[in-house]
Amino acid sequence: MHWTMNTLPLPPYMELGVQSLSGLLWTVLLLFLWHCYRMGSDLPIPGHTHGKLKSSSRRSMKSCVGTKCNARSKLSRSDPITPFISMETEEEEEEDEEQGRGYLTPVLSHALFPAQASAEAKKLYMALQEYAKRYSWVGMGRIHKGLREQVRLNDHSAIQKPHLFFLPDVPSVPFFPRDAHRHDIEVLEANYLAILAEFQAVYQRGIDSKLGWTSVGPKGQAVFPLYSAGVCVAGNCRSCPSSYRTLLSLRTFINSNSLGSAGFWLLWPGATLGSSYGPTNTRLRCHLGLQTPPLCELVVGGEPQCWSEGHCLLVDDSFLHTVSHNGPPDSGPRVILSVDLWHPNVAAAERQALDFIFSPDL
């Protein structure tokens, strides 16, 4: 049997012809444009989003949740335009955590803050709200939760209890390995000799408040600050230009908020700094040993450590810590360069928000 081309079935597009094919393509294109138009017109209007979503979702849950859902739906219907995003109660917070949202739910200005909170805590919370209005609530979940739980933290004893701000869910240990801030540690240790020479120069001029020195805590301790509460001490930095340039070359130095400081710390023989907590767990203190006589000890969270000249210690001072110099009277002071660095588990968005909340200008 012989087959010819006339007996073979032709594809549909050859039967339709070129003009019919182009018409079909135009039809598909118009349908696609119409679909895009409908999708765009269905987007929620700014300012009406939360009211529509919450009222509809609560009406759909009315038969399942009961009185609590009824109260919510009434509240959303009474104010259908204003976005309703309020601070969770303890029950609602537990429900949110069960649903995978937890503390990530943001709040707006009309939300209630714990009544027993201190004036300082309320001030910090207002600063967080102002930051969110200017920028965004994105990434602020841990800070929001920390401000709410600071009241509970201050009411019980713990080995780690920062007295100003505690950021939750931040893994921490009393002493961190060098790898946590390898770059900054290597920069400080590489400039050890220049930093030591500048300290010796300011030390030989004498320890006097008129010369830039300050006394902190009990007798036997003195500080020559280069940065104090996030503010550069200009006169002291001019006296130590190499140390100042070294600080500016660090990647994680806290120099834009009141949580960060840097300077030379002296502790005289026989002096002991009693047990205390640092202000926050969002930072690590880096101690560069400059002069370290024997029998000087730092105990953080029950773990003792000693300084070494030319080497750094990374300390989380939000743990309970003590400092002592039990060397002989002629051993001279223990001297370190103390620099506050960001905790490695604090995200960039959180650092920016904390710079705003703890700004020296606020």
Residues contacting residue 158 through CB under 8 Å, at least 6 positions apart: none
Report the C-alpha gap between 79 and 157 in whole angstroms. 44
pLDDT at 81: 38
pTM: 0.70
Q: Does a structural domain hold residue 6? A: no
Per-residue pLDDT of the chain (362 residues), as tens digits, is: 555 545 545 555 455 555 677 778 888 888 888 877 776 655 444 444 444 434 444 444 444 444 444 444 443 444 443 333 334 444 444 544 444 444 444 444 344 556 666 778 888 999 999 999 999 999 999 999 988 887 666 666 688 989 899 999 999 999 999 999 999 999 999 999 999 999 999 999 999 889 999 976 567 899 999 999 999 999 999 999 999 999 999 999 999 999 999 999 999 999 998 888 999 999 999 999 999 999 999 999 999 999 999 999 999 999 999 999 999 989 999 999 999 999 999 999 999 999 999 998 86
Report the C-alpha gap between 240 and 233 in whole angstroms. 11
* Distance (Å) of CA 243 to CA 185, 227, 229, 238: 14, 11, 17, 10
From 362, 318, 319, 347, select the one nearest 143 (Cα to Cα). 347
Q: Are 66 and 34 in contact (CB under 8 A)?
A: no
Residues contacting residue 350 through CB under 8 Å, at least 6 positions apart: 139, 140, 142, 143, 167, 282
From 281, 284, 313, select the one nearest 297 (Cα to Cα). 313
pLDDT at 297: 95
**β-pair partners for 154:** none
Q: Does a structural domain hold residue 341? A: yes
Q: Does a structural domain hold residue 198? A: yes
Beta strands in the chain (DSSP E): 175-176, 221-228, 231-232, 262-267, 272-276, 283-291, 296-300, 303-305, 312-315, 321-325, 334-342
Q: Packing angle between helix 348-357 and helix 141-153, nearest 10 degrees?
A: 60
3-class SS of residue 179:
helix
Other CB atoms within 10 A of residue 87 CB: 17
Q: Does a structural domain hold residue 337? A: yes
pLDDT at 358: 95
Burial class of residue 35, CB neighbours in 10 A (0-12, 13-18, 19+)? exposed
Q: Packing angle between helix 348-357 and helix 119-134, nearest 10 degrees?
A: 120
pLDDT at 115: 62
Q: Does a structural domain hold residue 280? A: yes
Q: Are 287 and 315 in contact (CB under 8 A)?
A: yes
Q: Does a structural domain hold residue 49? A: no
**β-pair partners for 90:** none
Q: Does a structural domain hold residue 357? A: no
Which residues form the domain of 289? Answer: 175-346
Q: What are the residue ranges of helices labelled H in 135-191?
A: 141-153, 182-190
Residues contacting residue 101 through CB under 8 Å, at least 6 positions apart: none
Per the structure, how many domains does the chain have?
A: 1
Q: Does a structural domain hold residue 32? A: no
pLDDT at 66: 44
Structure tokens at 28: 């598909």
DSSP letters for 302-317? TEEE---TT-EEEE-T
pLDDT at 49: 43
∠ CA 154-158-159, rounded to 5°: 130
The CATH number of residue 324's host domain is: 2.60.120.330
One-letter identity of residue 70: N
Residue with token string 């506050």? 340
Report the C-alpha gap between 273 and 28 in whole angstroms. 79
